[in-house]
Structure 1
Amino acid sequence: MYRAGPFTAAVPALGLSQPTVTAQIRTLEQQTGREPFTRLPRGVEPTPAAHELAVRPTGPLDALAAPEGAGPSAGQAVPVHPAGPSELLCVRALPALVPLVADGVRLRVAQGLPEPLLEETRTGRHGLVVATRRPRGRNVESVPLAGEEYLLVAAPAWAERAAALPQAEDLCAAPREVPLVTYAEDLPLVRRYRRTVFGERHTARAAVTVPTLYAVLSAVAAGAGYSVLPRSLCQEHLDSGRLAPLHEPEAAPLNTLVLVRRPGAETDPDVVRARETHRRAARGR
């Protein structure tokens, strides 16, 4: 199945009926607790779980089909599959896990939006996910990882212009005169900041919409306008003077990051090590 690609190509090669092959795949999913293939409109696509499983029998099976004397390929440790939004991976997850690589742990990293990643974790695609909220349901384990502050920031030139506006003393009004940069049209971080800090609904529209928070950071630092960003992502820019705060409340909005582990991962020693490494790094911060 893994080598043939679509079910329709594998069935004739196996000499079995399609219902039989489908039943075997479902049995495999139940036995491993992981989904080996993603169903597509046309055919299937192997998941990381399929890549891992395929490594194990490849050597012995190829040796059976090869000329006499050809030996199986050496076995390999199963990789750990961490995942999360791109900025959390780069700022928090990868720096924490890199020391494990020297000890022989292999990493296969995926990025994406929290909701799809959590759903994929339930099917076994990812071993660990750094998420911005706790998952629903009881079939995955999650633990608090770290607190994340959110800051209202802009390039220094925009911060100076906002401070000089007649309504600058009205902290709700000043940012309205500065273009808004965001990664989503519904403005989740900006809306939450204004609701939590200013006690008002946000009604302005974005001047610039980009795909990721990294792109927001780049656009804001280049002078496109203001935005709300996690402190871990923009602290270096604040320290260097490339960004300036538009507002400094007594208590910045805080979100708790969580570390989610896939069902059954407690039996994988490398996943357990990665999880504990994450938690130690978070405590160190």
Structure 2
Amino acid sequence: MPDLDLLATFLEIYRSGSLTAAAARRGLSQAAVSGQLARLEQQVGQRLFDRSRRGAVPTERALDLARRIGTHIDELHHVFDAPPEDLAAYRGTVRLAGPSDLLAMRVMPVLAPLAVRGLRLRITLGLAEDLLAVLAAGSLDMVVSAVRPPPGTVVATAFADEEFVLVGAPSLARTIDPGALATEPLRALAHLPLIAYAEDLPIIRRYWRSEFGRRPPNPVAITIPDLRATLAAVVAGAGVSVLPRYVAEPALAAGSVEVLHQPQVPPLNTLYLVTRVGGLAAPAVATVHRALTERSNHWVL
């Protein structure tokens, strides 16, 4: 019978579609996850995933195995992870808000198991400035924000740093003059169309000013307020963009995009958990805050 750790790692790969994402969720190196998958495939006697540009694609054997063991492995984790004296902390409703990409790819995998224990979650998606105003007005309990709010009615706790990378499809990468990129990067990149989160280029503008000293002169091909959709457009060759590494990593691993510029110091942006003053006195809110803070130590952002 396969070791439970091997099965847990298999489920993370199956659910995330990527060995890199599974390693981040399990708090392991990618090499350790690859080794565990190889041992499990040896024990079951069949290949479980095919590597492709879409990531780790499950085989029919993997689909059947996931259906059979998924809920059972989750239930075992809940039994061992939740001591009886902590059960009161899972009674209540937490109104949480943040950007769709971060919540989908990092936050929800941490919080969904809490709902199985009884915690109720009400999720709102949106932009940081709008959500922080709603929080201050009392209609939210917590906001995951890339913007640090001014002190006052809310309290911001730094809990993770996300690294930004400038990426483009290999076909566009080949149009960049390496010599010009080393000496005049602004000019070397100026012909590349941009895929932006919004018309004011919030992420791209910050990267250009940090690395090149001014706003990008590049034409804007597409604006779309979703980083996963932005990545899809970049993979398709419609333009280049600046993305958090955790969003770009599966495409980088597959070779469907490349890092176009290597800063001496990787540009980072701090993420905050923002609550109202006194908000952590609510046990359910404190539980969510603690779970995200502890798990973020293992994130690859």
Q: Same fold (TM over 0.5)?
A: yes
1:98 equivalent to 2:108? Answer: no
Secondary structure class of the residue paired with 2:97: strand
Q: Provide runs of 4+ in structure 1 moved above 4 Å.
A: none
Q: Which runs of 5+ in 1 are unaligned?
A: 1-75
Match of 2:244 in 1: 230
Q: Normalising by the residue count of structure 1, what TM-score does the alignment of the two structures yield?
A: 0.69
Give matches, 1:1-285, under 5 Å.
Answer: 77-163=91-177, 167-169=180-182, 170-285=184-299
Distance 2:284 2:171 in 1: 48
**Quick check: 2:155–2:276 contact (8 Å CA) kept in 1?**
yes
Q: CA offset at residue 177 of structure 1?
A: 1.7
1:62-87 alpha-carbon deviations (Å, 9 max, x no partner): xxxxxxxxxxxxxx953211110111
- What is the alpha-carbon distance in structure 2 between the residues aligned to residue 171 and residue 133 of structure 1? 28
Q: Match for 2:272: what amino acid?
A: V
What amino acid is aligned across from residue 291 of structure 2 in structure 1?
A: T
SS in structure 2 opposite 1:90? helix
Instruction: Name the CA distance, whole Å, in 1 between partners of 2:112 and 2:205.
Output: 35
Offset, 1:281? 0.8
Q: Aligned equivalents of 2:222 and 2:157: distance in 1?
A: 35
Cα distance, 1:163 vs structure 2 = 4.3
Q: In the alignment, is the contact (CA less than 8 A) between 1:180 and 1:207 conserved in 2? A: yes
Shift of 1:275: 0.3
* Stretch of structure 1 that moved more, 96-105 or 113-122: 96-105
Single out whichever of 196-205 and 186-195 deviates more from structure 2: 196-205
State the alpha-carbon separation in 2 of the partners of residues 153 and 282 from structure 1: 24
- Greater Rg by CA: 1
Q: Do the aligned partners of 1:145 and 1:279 also contact (CA within 8 Å) in 2?
A: yes
- 1-structure distance, mates of 2:172, 2:221: 14
Residues 192, 218 of structure 2: 8 Å contact kept: no
The residue that corresponds to 1:67 in the other structure is none
- Equivalences, count: 209
TM-score computed with the length of structure 2 as normaliser: 0.65
Q: Is the 8 A contact 2:154 2:274 kept in 1?
A: yes
CA deviation after TM superposition for structure 1 residue 210, in Å: 1.7
Quote the offset at 1:204 in angstroms.
2.9
Show structure 2 runs of 5+ residues with no match. 1-89
Distance 1:257 1:211 in 2: 18
Residue pair 2:191, 2:218 contacting (<8 A) in 1 also: no
Identity of aligned residues (%): 40
Q: Which amino acid aligns with 1:267?
A: A
Question: Which one has the bigger helix percentage?
Answer: 2
Q: Deviation of residue 168 (structure 1)?
A: 4.2
- Secondary structure of the corresponding residue to residue 106 of structure 2: helix
C-alpha separation in 2, matches of 1:211 and 1:133: 16
Residue equivalent to 2:37: none
**Partners of 2:121 and 2:163 in 1: CA distance:** 28
Indicate the SS of the match to 1:177. coil
Say if 2:190 and 2:216, in contact at 8 Å, map to a contact too.
no
Give per-residue Cα distances to partners, 1:226-250, cap 9 Å, x unaligned.
0111112111111111211111112
| Contact kept in structure 2, 1:122 and 1:263, CA below 8 Å | no
Per-residue deviation, 1:140: 1.0
